[in-house]
C-alpha cells in the first residue's frame, strides 16, 4: 500500500473540498488479498443537492474561461498525472485487481486521452453554412458550438482512471463541468484525479466526485440542471437510467458479448495468442473482451487445439506479479456468478474444454475457461459474461459465421480473421456492430477513435472528438 497510499481519499470531493458523507460507510477492498484499503463515506440527500449546485456554479465559471485558459489547465493536469503515473498504476492494481502491467498501460492511455483533448481544444469549432443561393443570397452564416451544461457521469470499476478521463477531458475542453459517481468498488482513482484537477486551477465545482448509494445518486439522473448523462456500465442499468433521465442527452457505453470469426485463410499460429489475450486479459472484465469465437469447419479441430494449448500457458495469480495476466474477479459475487453460469451451461449440454473451476477461492480467481456446444438458452449463450470465459463454435462457412455473430442483442465490436478482401467487405457490410476490426480482436481500442455500439450495446460514441460534439450544441448565426 505504500506505493499508492498518498493518493487514497475516503470522502467525496465537492466544490474543491473533501466532504465526509453523512449517510453510511463502505469498505473498499484490495481485490487480491481482500484487505481493507480504506473505509469511504456515502453522501446523504442534502449533500448530493450541494454537489449538484456546485456543478451548476462550476459550469457558469468554467464556461467563462477562454479556450487557451482551459487548455493550459489541461496541460498542467497532464504533467501532474505523468509525474505520479506509477502511483496511479499501483492504485489501480490494488482497487481494481488489474495486473500491474495492464494497470500501467491504463495510466499511459489516460495520459494519451488527455493529450487528445488538449490537441482538439485548439481546433474544435462549428462550420460555415453555404447561403449564396435562393433566399440566402447576400447573407452569411456559421455555427458555433456551445457547452450543453453540467454533466452527470457514472463510471465503472474496470477502468477506474481512463474511463473517468473519457468523460472529464472532453467536458473540460469544451467548458462543461462534471459531476461524477465512480464505482463504489474502485473510487480512489477518480478521487485522486479530482485532487489533481483541484491543483491545476480549474474553477471550484468544475469536477465533483461523489460517493453515494444508488437511491441518493438517482437525483443526478433525474435533476434537470444536469444536461447530459454519460454512463459506462451494464446494459440493464444503462437503459434503466436513460428512462429515468427524461429529456437529458445520453451517451451510453454498455458492453456486449464480443465475437471473433476465423476462416481458413488466417494464420492460426499467429492469431491464437492474440485471441486468447483478448478473451482472458484482466479476467475478461472488459466490455470488449472476446466472448464468442466462431471458426469454419475446415480448420476447426486444429484451431481448437491451438486455442486450448495457448489458454493453458496463461499466468494466473497475484496482479502485482508482472508476468501474471489473469488476476481476481472484482468480488466474490461475480466469482460465484461465473461458477453458476458455467454450471448451468454444462447442465444443458455444454462441454468444458479447459478451466471450468475456481483457481483460488480466497483471492476470487477463476480459471480461464473455454466451452463448446453452449446452447443459446443459457446465460452464457446470450448474456455478457464479463469474466474469464469464452465459447467456441464451429460454423459451416464464413457466411454462416456472420449470421451467428448477428444472433445477439449486443453490437459493440467484432474481430474478423481472414485474408480474403471480399470477405472483409462482406463482414463490414453485414455485421451489426459499432466497429468491425480486420485481423484484430474486438478488444482493440485507441482512445481518439469513435467507440460505441448499437442494439443493447449503447447509444452515441465515446472518443474525444465525438464526446465533445455530444457535450456541445451548435448555434446558428445568420447576418
- Largest Cα–Cα distance of the chain, in whole Å? 75
More confident residue, 97 or 1: 97
Contact 468, 170 (CB under 8 A): yes
Identify the band that residue 75 occupies on the pLDDT scale cut at 50, 70 and 90: very high
Q: Is the pLDDT of residue 420 over 90?
A: yes
Residues 385 and 176: their CA atoms lie apart, in Å, by 35
Strand partners, 411: 454
Given a cut of 90, whether residue 232 has pLDDT beyond it is yes
Q: Does residue 24 carry a pLDDT above 80? A: yes
pLDDT in tens, 261-277: 999 999 999 999 999 99
Nearest CA to 372 out of 278, 313, 304, 310 is that of 304
pLDDT, mean of residues 148-165: 98
CA torsion angle 255 257 262 263 (round to 10): -110
* Terminal-to-terminal C-alpha distance of the chain: 62
Residue 218 has a pLDDT of 97
What confidence score (pLDDT) does residue 450 get? 96
Q: Structural domains in the chain?
A: 5-255+460-478 (3.40.605.10), 259-442 (3.40.309.10)
Burial class, 183, CB count within 10 angstroms (exposed 0-12 / middle 13-18 / buried 19+): buried
Q: How confident is the model at residue 2 (pLDDT cuts 50, 70, 90)?
A: confident
Q: What is the mean pLDDT of residues 321-347?
A: 97
Give the pLDDT score at 1.
64
Q: How far is CA 172 from CA 34, 77, 205, 321, 407, in A?
A: 36, 11, 11, 36, 39
What SS3 state is found at 230? strand
Go through the chain and tell me how many residues it has: 479
Residue 257 clears pLDDT 70, i.e. is over it:
yes
In this model, does residue 65 exceed pLDDT 90? yes
Enumerate the active-site residues. 253, 287
Q: State the pTM of this model.
A: 0.96
Average of per-residue pLDDT values in the chain = 97
Amino acid at each position: 500500500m505504500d506505493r499508492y497510499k498518498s493518493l487514497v481519499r475516503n470522502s467525496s470531493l465537492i466544490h474543491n473540498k473533501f466532504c465526509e458523507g453523512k449517510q453510511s460507510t463502505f469498505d473498499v477492498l484490495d481485490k487480491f488479498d481482500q484487505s481493507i484499503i480504506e473505509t469511504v463515506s456515502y453522501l446523504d440527500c442534502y449533500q448530493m443537492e450541494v454537489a449538484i449546485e456546485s456543478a451548476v456554479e462550476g459550469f457558469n465559471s468554467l464556461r467563462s474561461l477562454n479556450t487557451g485558459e482551459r487548455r493550459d489547465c489541461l496541460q498542467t493536469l497532464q504533467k501532474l498525472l505523468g509525474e505520479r503515473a506509477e502511483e496511479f498504476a499501483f492504485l489501480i492494481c490494488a482497487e481494481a485487481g488489474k495486473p500491474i502491467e495492464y494497470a500501467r498501460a491504463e495510466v499511459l492511455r489516460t495520459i494519451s486521452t488527455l493529450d487528445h483533448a488538449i490537441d482538439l481544444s485548439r481546433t474544435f469549432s462549428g462550420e460555415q453554412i453555404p447561403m449564396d443561393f435562393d433566399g440566402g443570397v447576400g447573407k452569411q452564416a456559421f455555427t458555433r458550438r456551445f457547452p450543453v451544461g453540467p454533466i452527470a457521469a457514472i463510471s465503472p470499476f474496470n477502468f477506474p482512471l481512463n474511463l473517468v478521463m473519457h468523460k472529464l477531458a472532453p467536458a473540460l475542453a469544451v467548458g462543461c463541468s462534471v459531476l461524477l459517481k465512480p464505482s463504489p468498488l474502485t473510487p480512489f482513482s477518480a478521487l485522486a484525479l479530482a485532487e489533481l484537477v483541484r491543483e491545476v486551477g480549474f474553477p471550484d465545482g468544475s469536477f465533483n466526485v461523489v460517493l453515494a448509494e444508488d437511491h441518493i445518486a438517482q437525483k443526478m439522473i433525474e435533476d434537470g440542471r444536469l444536461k447530459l448523462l454519460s454512463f459506462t456500465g451494464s446494459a440493464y442499468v444503462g437503459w434503466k437510467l436513460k428512462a429515468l433521465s427524461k429529456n437529458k442527452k445520453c451517451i451510453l457505453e454498455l458492453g456486449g458479448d464480443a465475437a471473433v470469426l476465423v476462416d481458413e485463410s488466417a494464420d492460426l499460429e499467429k492469431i491464437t495468442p492474440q485471441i486468447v489475450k483478448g478473451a482472458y486479459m484482466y479476467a475478461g472484465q472488459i466490455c470488449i473482451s472476446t466472448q464468442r469465437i466462431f471458426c469454419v469447419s475446415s480448420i476447426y479441430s486444429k484451431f481448437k487445439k491451438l486455442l486450448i494449448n495457448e489458454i493453458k500457458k496463461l499466468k494466473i495469480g497475484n496482479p502485482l506479479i508482472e508476468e501474471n495476466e489473469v488476476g481476481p474477479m472484482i468480488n466474490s459475487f461475480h466469482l460465484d456468478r461465473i461458477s453458476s453460469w458455467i454450471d448451468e451451461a454444462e447442465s444443458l449440454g455444454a462441454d468444458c474444454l479447459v478451466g471450468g473451476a475456481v483457481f483460488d477461492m480466497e483471492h476470487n480467481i477463476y480459471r480461464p475457461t473455454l466451452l463448446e456446444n453452449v446452447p443459446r438458452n443459457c446465460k452464457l449463450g446470450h448474456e455478457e459474461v464479463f469474466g474469464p470465459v469464452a465459447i467456441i463454435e464451429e460454423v459451416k462457412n464464413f457466411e454462416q459465421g456472420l449470421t451467428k455473430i448477428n444472433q445477439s442483442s449486443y453490437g459493440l465490436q467484432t474481430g474478423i480473421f481472414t485474408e480474403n478482401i471480399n470477405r472483409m467487405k462482406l463482414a463490414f457490410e453485414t455485421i451489426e456492430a459499432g466497429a468491425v476490426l480486420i485481423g484484430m480482436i474486438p478488444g482493440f481500442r485507441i482512445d481518439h477513435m469513435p467507440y460505441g455500439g448499437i442494439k443493447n450495446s449503447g447509444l452515441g460514441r465515446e472518443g474525444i472528438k465525438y464526446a465533445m460534439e455530444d457535450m456541445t450544441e451548435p448555434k446558428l448565426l445568420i447576418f
